[in-house]
Structure 1
């Protein structure tokens, strides 16, 4: 009995030590906050304010909110004072610290010749992608044009010319594996800009931003509002205005981090939070040729819980025989937040779907298991 008692005591001490060690070794979530422009690059100019100062003010306020309120999160700033950094240096900082999320903060403007210059208003959040309009392209050109301040920009940026429309074709061929996370985060930021900061919603947009393309993590670029509009300039240049913009991004980040933690613990028992996303699954008809993977099973049994492996999310539908599926078939999808989220496999047995997961993981590194109930995703 005595031996058994000491054995139990020794085991409890060891378990406590192991738990403490695991906490110490746990990697903090790293968020990189990038205040756009700086130093001899003022960014866009208002009647009194400079973009570089507004960006830095919001960035520092955002960072303090995270540092003061969230445990297990490390904040890295690309700059904390008025200094100049190249676009590539900003990306290098984020990659060197192995960031988990990159937030680049900017302030919008219109060309001085624009008749709408003093009236335009609204906040927008951008992710990497191919511009779908001339307006989107112009924003990307303006933000990328800071590379002209570098003497050797042509060599450093692999021949990329911000003012050449042809240069932007490189972004069309980029398979951006973090697109889903970036767009979801951008959508949450936009909702907060409206509800928390009272901004006009100019939506989530995509364009070819060098700094987003060169960061190997989910990344967004926010345009806070228009500095060329005197009313918005006063708001953005004020402490209260910057605090509201920072709080908006912070609120969205809290939700992003919560979703991130839930996915990280997908293999464990987690608290379920129902989603309103409708599931679209293949029906019994065979889909061939160029037909889309748009299919719908007529009846999901009430109360049934099942699992799938999600491996890709895109803002467009793909044909059933798409090469991007790397031979996986049949593939299903469900729509969520304007994204088509593609899945493989389906089983009520968690162990069975785990086998499917290993297969998909070998083809898509970012694949993960998701759970559905009554035809709706619950995590």
Structure 2
């Protein structure tokens, strides 16, 4: 019996050895040989045309560029897996697009769109790339509203998106409290995309943040690209042309190569000059009030990818200011009070006229905290 068992063990060992010689890659692949997965999302589709121009529809432009980007990656990056949320003219709900990326455990999510404005007489043009966050301008909010409004034609959208109203400004405050661990990598890729667009002489409208539902649920670095304005006749002709869509696709592909080769490293944020540290410190200013355990309220006025020079025009004359770092970004604040009513009056009297989208945040010591919890504690302390 023992001899028979030994014979079986020897036989199985021989079979495994033969299989290893025949199929070394599948059985003994190196644990470091991980395929890079990118999900390319062509916005809109099917009965959702997206923005409509005089000659074309956004859904077709998006799909054309998305397929060309995917084709370039497939042809030149054998170690990369390309997945499309749609590769033909069909409707895919926003939440489903994120599910596709999450289920694939993607390393990067690229959502491709085409911009528009209500007035066709204005010659607005240019490309811009968005990452997830709270809008900083009314224009950014309007772009998010436009792209998010697609949920209104989805079944049971109120349940699927927890009552989110894409046309209500109040709904977008939720994006401020999202802690996106992939923010730095997302901003990095967005900057690479815009750099390539500039190299092709496209008007650069920059990198922005806004509350896009399609990015909210993704668990990897994600961006939403606006290729140009279909409501601008000249830009529409470019977007609809084979040469135009190929140029845009090539730019996104080159940005992808640079990002992948750099492995999505965080955006480098230069350190401030020593002279700036008197009013701008890396951590929130610790005042006498802040040394207590009570929350300290501040007004967030601006987000930047790097530390601004002292007296920057972007601060619109507010001084002294403070900043903190979060998600690879530099976020500027003004004022510091344990009294919520005082900071609210300061915002209304001195900040709102300069920064219409400023909002109040809270810290406990050097740690940012939920502002709603901070307000609740403030009310309790007054009793």
Other structure's SS at 1:22 match:
coil
Task: Indicate if the aligned counterparts of 1:291 and 1:320 stay in contact, CA closer than 8 A.
Answer: no
CA distance in 1, matches of 2:282, 2:214: 40
TM-score of the pair, normalised by structure 2: 0.67
CA shift, 1:20, in A, is 8.1
Partner of 1:206: 209
Task: Indicate if the aligned counterparts of 1:65 and 1:250 stay in contact, CA closer than 8 A.
Answer: yes
Q: Which runs of 5+ in 2 are unaligned?
A: 1-16, 288-306, 308-324, 334-362, 370-383
Structure 1 residue 122 corresponds to structure 2 residue 126: yes
CA distance in 2, matches of 1:276, 1:154: 40
Task: Indicate if the aligned counterparts of 2:63 and 2:88 stay in contact, CA closer than 8 A.
Answer: yes
Partner of 2:83: 76
**Cα gap change, 1:35 to 1:19, in 2 (>3 Å):** closer
Partner of 1:313: 328
Q: Which runs of 5+ in 1 are unaligned?
A: 1-9, 264-274, 295-309, 326-379
Partner of 2:225: 222
Partner of 2:238: 235
C-alpha RMSD over aligned residues: 3.4
CA distance in 2, matches of 1:55, 1:42: 10
CA shift, 1:72, in A, is 1.2
**Cα gap change, 1:219 to 1:230, in 2 (>3 Å):** same
CA shift, 1:313, in A, is 1.8
For residues 254-293 of structure 1, the aligned pairs below 5 Å read 254-260=257-263, 278-279=270-271, 290=285
**Cα gap change, 1:171 to 1:320, in 2 (>3 Å):** closer
For residues 34-183 of structure 1, the aligned pairs below 5 Å read 34-112=41-119, 115-116=121-122, 119-183=123-187
Partner of 1:21: 28
Task: Indicate if the aligned counterparts of 1:126 and 1:222 stay in contact, CA closer than 8 A.
Answer: yes
CA distance in 2, matches of 1:173, 1:287: 21
CA shift, 1:178, in A, is 0.6
Partner of 2:7: none
CA shift, 1:24, in A, is 7.8
* CA deviation map 1:87-115 (0-9, x unaligned): 00101111111111000000000014x64
* CA deviation map 1:26-78 (0-9, x unaligned): 32111000000000000001111110000000000000000000121100000
CA shift, 1:278, in A, is 4.3
CA distance in 2, matches of 1:276, 1:145: 35
Task: Indicate if the aligned counterparts of 1:35 and 1:56 stay in contact, CA closer than 8 A.
Answer: yes
CA shift, 1:311, in A, is 9.4
Task: Indicate if the aligned counterparts of 1:290 and 1:320 stay in contact, CA closer than 8 A.
Answer: no
TM-score of the pair, normalised by structure 1: 0.67
CA shift, 1:262, in A, is 7.7
Other structure's SS at 2:208 match:
strand
**Cα gap change, 1:291 to 1:18, in 2 (>3 Å):** farther
Other structure's SS at 2:164 match:
coil
**Cα gap change, 1:18 to 1:121, in 2 (>3 Å):** closer
CA distance in 2, matches of 1:289, 1:279: 15
Task: Indicate if the aligned counterparts of 2:66 and 2:249 stay in contact, CA closer than 8 A.
Answer: yes
CA shift, 1:205, in A, is 0.8
Task: Indicate if the aligned counterparts of 1:289 and 1:320 stay in contact, CA closer than 8 A.
Answer: no
CA distance in 1, matches of 2:30, 2:206: 39
Larger Rg: 2
**Cα gap change, 1:291 to 1:239, in 2 (>3 Å):** farther
CA distance in 2, matches of 1:33, 1:250: 11
Partner of 2:14: none
CA distance in 2, matches of 1:167, 1:176: 18
Task: Indicate if the aligned counterparts of 1:188 and 1:252 stay in contact, CA closer than 8 A.
Answer: yes
CA distance in 2, matches of 1:151, 1:20: 45
CA distance in 2, matches of 1:70, 1:172: 36
Task: Indicate if the aligned counterparts of 1:121 and 1:229 stay in contact, CA closer than 8 A.
Answer: yes
Task: Indicate if the aligned counterparts of 1:107 and 1:225 stay in contact, CA closer than 8 A.
Answer: yes
* CA deviation map 1:85-142 (0-9, x unaligned): 0100101111111111000000000014x641xx111000000010011111000000
Partner of 2:304: none
